[in-house]
Structure 1
Amino acid sequence: MPDSVLSAPIMTMAGRPVVDSLPAASTISGRIMSRFVVDSALSGRVPLADLRRDVTVMVKACLELTAGLLTGADTTKPLSDVRFGVTEWAREGVPFDAMQQAVRAGTLLAFDHLLAQAEPAEDHAAVAEVTRVFFELSSRLATAMAQAYSNEMRTAGDDSVDTLAAALMAGKATPAMARACGVRLAEGYFVFAVAFVAPHDEGESRRIVSHRTVRRVRAEVSQRCGDQALMQMGVGTATLLIPQDHFDPAEAERFVEHLVAAAHTRVRATFVSASGDGIPEAVERVHAVLDIMRRLRRDGLARFEDLSLEYQLSRPGAAGHHLTAMVDPLEAHPVLLETLKAYLSTRCTRLHTARILHIHPNTVDYRLNRIAEITGLDPLHSDGVWRLRSALVARTLGVGEQESIDRGDPDRSAPAAQAC
């Protein structure tokens, strides 16, 4: 939204629509930061940069709510934003009275800003209506904040849900455990694996996810999938168990986009469906696919069926060793190996390959013939293309290498990246 809230006018003050006279969000947030927050319990709990952003978001939500009350517009979204902000602060350990004082200070600043523009002799009715609106504003803010804070405190005091998630993923959950934490075990789940990727990540490093990122992702999952969705965090990853009746797989791409927005970073994600007793196997499978995405340097959402061939080729066995051996002779010819990768990535289009490599198409033909001579597989025929592609996938995934994949942390063997 813009820095100041603009909506359809319903009353005027000093000849100007009242809603257009609301102060800029930056003005109020700046005054709160300089006059109040720096001396309150907020600043001791929340990093200054995060606090400045949080205060601005809260002020904008309150201004949107004020504009909605002045014009009769829908106030659902700004109230939701206020609850989210309170929940964030509650998770940081900010006392409720500190939140109340910050919001009250901002509300009074906005109210005084409007009254200062009134014409004493002409705007009696407008002043009375503005006063009524701000009484209603204060009431709604108090209710929304109290609800959000109490809900978060109730949730934070019980870690049994996380215990249940771990037990389900290990195949050890019981109905009694679920009842104890108010969760109804579903007959089937969508099992998601999500990795959070640092901006500088080239596909090999893991990242340590900050507590704020974890909270934002948890809140997003709860909002999109309900409180029956379960989540367990690894190092740089999350495993989600979403009841099948709480999630539409056709909306998976949009769901991942919301996770990206919540995490403020790129993600890799994949999912499969599983029955209750099939969750442990499904968890192993999705994290194996997540590791494949890391090795192939793919971001975003990849459905399991999209990488089923790569998944199968990544399984240990004689077939994988045989496939990788097919292209081993090209190790001594890196230019040919580069040409083969470019050729396969362009759907075997020689002209496109030539453009990518900045060479003449005849040079591409010569190199493809050399690949056929060295490997015995002709990249100009469908059978040779299929075998060469499979061999390169197996080689990229390191089939046969002794590399452990820790559940919830497919980037285990790499050095840690900077936290979010």
Structure 2
Amino acid sequence: MHEVSEAARALALRCEPKVNKLARRMARDSFEQLPGYAALPAEMKDLEIAATVRHGVRLFLRSVLRPDGAADRAGIRLFRERAAQRAEEGMPLHLLLRSHALGMYVLWQALRETAGPGDEAALVELADLLLDSHHGIVGAVAETYLDERSAIDAERRAHRRSLVRGLLDGTLPPGHVLLERLGLDGPCLVLAVGAISRPTAARGEGRVEGRAEERAEGVAFRRRLRRVQTVLDHVFGVEVPALLDAGPESGRVIVPGAVEPPDDLVPRLSRAAGDPLRVAAVPAATPADVPGAARTAGEILRVARACGLPPGLHRLDDVLLEYHLSRPGESGRRIAALLDPVADRPELLETLRTHLAHGQDRRATAVALGLHPNTVDNRLARTTERTGIDLSTPKGTATAIAALLLRETGA
């Protein structure tokens, strides 16, 4: 611990009677020059801020008069409590930190005004101690403030997600008062976002390295989700309520207002996600229509994927026939079972899927699969032989499309 000279202690002792006056001066006059301070409530300035200033000045003077470090460790606790309180009240961090910096300067001015001839060395010593103590206090204040804001923001996001989830699954009443705050009390657009893949890091050896890589992958995945959320907010010009996560469908999104998705929405989302994405869009006329629109959007995604459509923006009209053919039921289960005889031959199913997706063009199918056209013909012939589905007839083609859709959408 730095040894404080008797001259420095004497100067600090002469300042001690001025603490109350100095606190009022800072809280009511000095801090008024800070942007945003004048708008604070008068009782906050006169009571809480003035009390914090008194505490800070006395803390410094006690550390000079009794430099054992105990006062510092106990005294910083109040600064942390006040920082958490200011964060909860919404005071900007820059205003909080500026008040601490300005308070240090005003205290230095008071020390300078109190010093007399021959106190030059003591004044320099106190200035050194003041600067040395300031960074610890500011660090504690900033850390506590940011921790508190992080906790508040996390709670707000969790509450927001809960509201969005309730609206999507129909458990939140359409007339709920909080929907107005989200802008979801009228027509909106519901989006289903296809799978956003998790980045995969190169695996190291050992459990420690493996866990570190898993954590890194988790961070990278969350960064992708944040980038996707940022694109949604920028494209639609509002903070878009969204549930983004892992899974076959990475997200469900509710865009306030009767809006149309712009042409560049999916390309921008794909760049943010690092992979080509599928997005299904379904309008909802009222909040009560949102759960149904969300289910339809998810079905459109699955049907588009099963049909072999390329990633992009999908609407119900884009897959209208396929959507209808893929509806579940007893007949649907029986149609899906028609492909059971080739369930153990994935290459036959893939060839059938690709052939139908390319309009039954054998050469386009061959190119897409990297096969000779004759190989495509042979595989289709074996599929017909095993299943009895004749792809040369319109009925057989429709049956094959329906069977694939029903199998791949889990109907």
Q: TM-score, normalised by structure 2?
A: 0.48
Higher gyration radius (CA):
2
Q: RCO (CA 8 Å, sep 6+): is it higher in 1 or 2? A: 1
Q: TM-score, normalised by structure 1?
A: 0.47
